Amino acid sequence: MSAPASLVVRRWRAQTAFEARMILRNGEQLLVTIAFPLLLLVGLTVTDVVSLDTEGARRIDVVAPGVLAMAIMTTAFTSQAIATAFDRRNGVLRLMATTPLGRGGLLAGKIAGVFAVEAVQIVLLVAVALGLGWHPTAAGIAPALLAWVLGTSAFTALAMLLAGTLRAEAVLAVANLVLAVLVVGGGVIAPAHQLPGPLTQVALLLPSGALGEAMRGAFQHGSVPPFSVLVLLLWTAALGWGINRLFRWQ
């Protein structure tokens, strides 16, 4: 007999709260998900150590959407990949999947936990950005929410694929390396068209570049570029297919 819907929802909410607390209580995770984006936001806004062509816009108007995109990446991808990989290595993932929560409920709780932590990130970053003089267009709020959901879906799927196929130690190295590469040359902070040579086209096809362009489009122009939406949807679908075929629970 299947459990009542209300009980399923309570289990899912409990797992969501647990996943969010595990990230927010971890000092290393807080450094990556909260401290680093905040320092980057302030540093790139108040200094010109990093050259950035704003094309006539104020520096904060270019920096803030990019840092928000990067913050989404750190939680949805890096934090989730590492946490899930070590849960898998320690047998926690397999045991949790055999509880009444089930595999579907466990994955749903992880994804919802990611959104909960990202909500905290976004509130803090937006508050600091507004304090630094950021004035995003109000028409961009709904498109930015769409970009948030699409970006989180794509990067959470990538995290799960890595965590379910590689050894935990390998995931730790690969996730941090991939994050560094995407931040530097993936079209997140700096617009893709400002990257040198062929990196421009490559960045636009990556989920990082698509998310960066989506966030900048939303907050600067009030709309998300359709191509960015398509790229994020295709990455999510492809990675989801990979998870379904390759993910190992132990």
**What CA–CA distances, in Å, run from 59 to 118, 119, 144, 182, 216?**
23, 24, 19, 21, 12
Q: Among candidates 248, 83, 233, 88, which has minimal Cα distance to 165? A: 248
The CA distance from 105 to 19, in Å, is 12
Per 3-state DSSP, the chain is made up of helix, strand and coil in percentages (nearest 5) of 80, 0, 20
Looking at residue 140, the DSSP 8-state letter turns out to be: G
Task: Convert the pLDDT of each residue in 10-47 to its tens digit.
Answer: 777 777 877 777 777 766 677 778 888 999 899 888 88
Task: Convert the pLDDT of each residue in 181-240 to its tens digit.
Answer: 888 878 888 788 888 778 888 888 999 999 999 999 999 889 999 999 999 999 999 999
Kindly report whether the global pTM for this prediction surpasses the value 0.85.
Answer: yes
